[in-house]
A and B are shown apart, each in its own frame.
Chain A
Amino acid sequence: MKPLLQAGHRGCAGCCDAIAAKFTLMAAGEDCIVVSPTGCLEVMTTPYPESSWNVPFIHSLFENNAAVASGVEAALKAKGEFGKTKIIAMGGDGATLDIGMRSISGAFERGHDFTYVCIDNEAYMNTGVQRSGATPFAASTTTSPAGKVSFGNIRPKKNMPAIMVAHGSPYVTTTSIGYPKDMIRKVKKAVDVEGPTYVHAHSPCTTGWGFDTSKTIEIAKLAVETCLWPLYEMEDGELTKAKKIKNPKPVEDYLKMQRRFKHLFTMEGGDEMIKKIQALADANIEKFGLQ
């Protein structure tokens, strides 16, 4: 079978977007239409006159991805072509949690039959690692830099999956590009469930987070193994499954491998911040029953 996302795109070595898109297409198959907002994924895969997509692909703007997807769905329905073809909106955390929030909220409330895949690399990477609503607590970005009187981003991540559950979505799940089988299974399930479904894929960015290009998958796994990124499924508002982590690793194992958290190990008081991050992981263990 030909790859649905062709090699030769312009992503960085170790790029999380390419991995996330590849897994998504492996799950959805060739009978799908991909809708994608402005961001790394669109830029690196569609430099005119080239395209890496072997499925129909449309990019419109930054903040309207879910609205464009709902228009595609409506068109197929109106023309009697809706059924087998899967509609997948795939965008970054900024396009999803921040600037595209109104659009995704409207599309889910209207109940369009499509799947939204959020590729969450926790900042605006395409523009140079600026803070987004998905940037984790104490991460240093170019607009929330660590400095003499700052430990970086002062707010925790926006809980986007909970917001999508609140919209009445029949299937909301978190996944990670560090777990291909998990992600492919969940995307497949999401596209098969009728109605608007949401897959939130944790996706480490080598450039933005500051780690070696060979470590993308390792970092992704560590986020899950430390319980900072729990993998769970919500069906019709109920938690139906969560991946157990028998012996959670300390969050330091995850933090120390990334430039964005380096200041926590060098600044006075950094250890207190690490304790707060550990508390976030512990809360996840409790909330989702990870042990």
Chain B
Amino acid sequence: MKRNFEDDKEKMVVVEGSYAVADAVKVCRPNVISAYPITPQTHIVEDLSQFIADGEIPNCEYLNVESEFSAISALVGSSAAGARSYSATTSQGLELMHEVLFNVAGMRLPVVMTVVNRAVSAPINIWNDQQDSISQRDTGWIQLHAEDTQEAADMTAQAFKIAEDPDVMLPVLACMDGFILSHVYEPVILLDEDLVAEYLPPFEPKFKLDPKNPKTFGAFADPHSYTEFRYLQQQAMNKALKTIEDAADEFYDLFGRHYGGLIDTYQTEDADIILMAMGSIVGTIKDVVDKLRAQGVKVGLLKVRSFRPFPAEAIKNAIKGAKVVVALDKNISLGLNEGALFTETKGSLYNTNVNIPIIGFMIGHGGRDIPMSTMEAIVDEAKKVIDSGITVESQFTDLKEELL
């Protein structure tokens, strides 16, 4: 039975993005939270600590560990012992976890971790881009990106649902842009505890560390069997494509909010130019689309929610009618001069019957502001591609020549 959502606006409260996420974690009833403070993730773990101090998260242990490496390592133990396990980090902290991330995924432990996206050092920079999580691309974690604070909060519940699905059993990075989402105060609806209980069943893994039924976790696999472990991880990623869509749909049925599953689209049906991006930049792009549509420019937006698994089929279907596609990336693969979304979209279309020019812009590094004027200039470049083909395939945006 669908709820009546008409009263939901009255339930809105103005809170910080970090609080909205921390509150969402709380109502997901984690058993173990393990985290190390790092800007701009700190407000999430502070809020969770206060919930613990006030006795608001029953049956939960909060570990103040001595590093991000131990933060995620502790969750290897807790998740294997059958505990719903959560952490949050960013940037250098996420990079320090790199080795363990492979381990969590390989052991098929459904840990959920919020990444408050931030640039990586050097030079040291605490502001937003997405180089940190993009650099964890091949660790075997599902990676989702939120557009606004409400989605970041709601995505937390979806992340546990996806991760703990018996067909998936993979960890999830739930990403939100640092400061832009984590430190902004916006009206949001905090997740209703009873509805979350209905949405998210208790975590009951098939196998756990249990003296009554001893099992070995983290065994050594030689060339005879290692390949099959990797193959099964990929199979789980394939299954997650549907699970992510289902989790979004089920969430909509209970809560009345939907942000797309693997992707979302805005004004793409008849668009000649499609801009694709992940995270908070999506909001700015919607405004640009509205403005340019009013001027008669047929432009649309493709929002990518799931970076891993990469939704190649969904992206292909969304862009196949366009004349040019522009990928915007808050990251770069140095030495290739391309952002990940650009490279992967381009790669996934090769060998298909969709043959559309794609160009890439790397944008917003280290928290550089992205005004609408920049986006409009990018659309102008896209128009040129329609008229006369690609001249520059991938490039930096808004470079300050005087600093070079």
Which of B60, B61, B73 is in CB contact (< 8 Å) with A67? Answer: B73
Residues 363-385 of chain B, each 1 if its beta carbon lies under 8 Å from chain A, else 0: 00000000000000000000000
Q: In this complex, what residue of A is CB-closest to B65?
A: A106
Contacts of A107 in B (CB 8 A): 70
Q: What are the residues of chain A within 8 A of B69 when measuring CB–CB? A: 63-64, 67, 102-103
**Top 3 A-B residue pairs of the complex, sorted by shortest distance between their CB atoms:** A71-B77, A106-B66, A71-B74
| Residues of A participating in the B interface, judged by any CB pair closer than 8 Å | 30-33, 35, 42-43, 46-49, 51, 53-61, 63-64, 67-80, 85, 102-103, 105-107, 109-110
Whether B60 contacts A78 by the Cβ 8 Å rule is: yes
Chain B 29-69 per-residue mask, 1 if CB under 8 angstroms from chain A, else 0 = 00110100000000000000000000000011101111101
The answer to whether A56 and B31 touch across the interface, beta carbons within 8 angstroms, is no
Would A78 and B32 be within 8 Å (CB), given that A54-B214, A55-B214, A71-B75 are in contact?
Answer: yes
Chain B residues with CB below 8 A from A77, complex form = 61
CB distance A75 to B216 under 8 Å?
A: no
With A43-B220, A78-B60 already in contact, 9 other A-B pairs whose C-beta atoms are closer than 8 Å: A51-B216, A54-B214, A55-B214, A59-B220, A60-B103, A61-B103, A75-B31, A110-B63, A110-B64
**List of B residues within 8 angstroms of A51 by Cβ:** 216, 219
Task: Tell me which residues across on chain B come within 8 A of A35, comparing CB atoms.
Answer: 77
Are A53 and B216 CB-contacts (below 8 A) given A74-B32, A74-B34?
A: yes
Q: Is the CB of B222 within 8 A of A47?
A: yes
How far, in whole Å, are A180 and B59 apart by their CA atoms in the complex? 40
Docked CA distance A46–B215 (Å): 11
- The reply on B190 being an interface residue by CB < 8 A is no
Interface pair A71/B100, CB less than 8 Å apart: no
Q: Is the CB of A71 within 8 A of B78?
A: yes
Scoring B99, B100, B209 by chain A CB atoms within 10 A of each residue's CB, the highest score goes to B209
| C-alpha gap A107/B65 in the complex (Å) | 8
Q: Is the CB of A56 within 8 A of B214?
A: yes
- CB pair B77 A48 closer than 8 Å: no
Q: Contacts A71-B81, A78-B31 known; A47 to B63 CB distance under 8 Å?
A: no
Task: Pick from A43, A59, A64, A102 the residue with the most CB of B within 10 Å.
Answer: A64
Q: Specify which chain B residues have a CB less than 8 angstroms from the CB of A60 in the assembled complex.
A: 73, 76-77, 100, 103, 107, 218
Question: A32 CA to B214 CA in the complex, in Å?
Answer: 10
Question: In the complex, which of the residues A30, A43, A74, A76 contacts B63, with contact meaning CB atoms closer than 8 Å?
Answer: A74
Is the CB–CB distance between B70 and A74 below 8 Å?
no
Q: Tell me the complex Cα distance, A53–B215, Å.
A: 8
Tell me the residues in window 164-222 of chain B with beta carbons closer than 8 Å to chain A beta carbons.
209-211, 213-222
What's the nearest-Cβ distance from chain A to residue B81, in Å? 4
Closest to A66 in B: B70
Q: How far is the CB of A193 from chain B (nearest CB, A)?
A: 20
CA distance A31 to B219 in the complex (A): 21
Known: A64-B76, A67-B73, A80-B59. A75 touches B82 (CB 8 A): yes
Interface membership of B241, Cβ < 8 A: no
Give bound CA distance, A105 to B78, whole Å: 19
Q: Does B225 contact A (CB under 8 A)?
A: yes
Are B216 and A46 neighbours in the complex by a CB distance under 8 Å?
yes
Asked if residues A67 and B77 are in contact (CB atoms below 8 Å), the reply is: yes
B83 at the interface (CB under 8 A from A): yes
Highest count of chain B CB atoms <10 Å: which of A42, A71, A107: A71
Question: Are A103's CB and B70's CB within 8 A?
Answer: yes
Q: Which of B93-133 contact A (CB under 8 A)?
A: 99-100, 103, 107
Contact of B211 among A48, A56, A70 (CB under 8 A): A56
Q: Are A53 and B31 in contact (CB under 8 A)?
A: no
How far is B63's CA from A103's CA once the two chains are assembled, in angstroms? Answer: 13
Contact B219 A48 (CB under 8 A): yes
CB proximity of A40 to chain B, nearest CB, Å: 11
- A-B contact list, 28 entries, CB within 8 Å: A33-B211, A35-B77, A46-B220, A48-B220, A49-B225, A53-B216, A56-B210, A56-B214, A56-B217, A57-B215, A58-B77, A58-B80, A59-B219, A61-B103, A63-B69, A67-B65, A68-B77, A70-B65, A71-B32, A71-B34, A71-B79, A71-B80, A72-B80, A72-B209, A74-B61, A74-B63, A75-B61, A102-B66
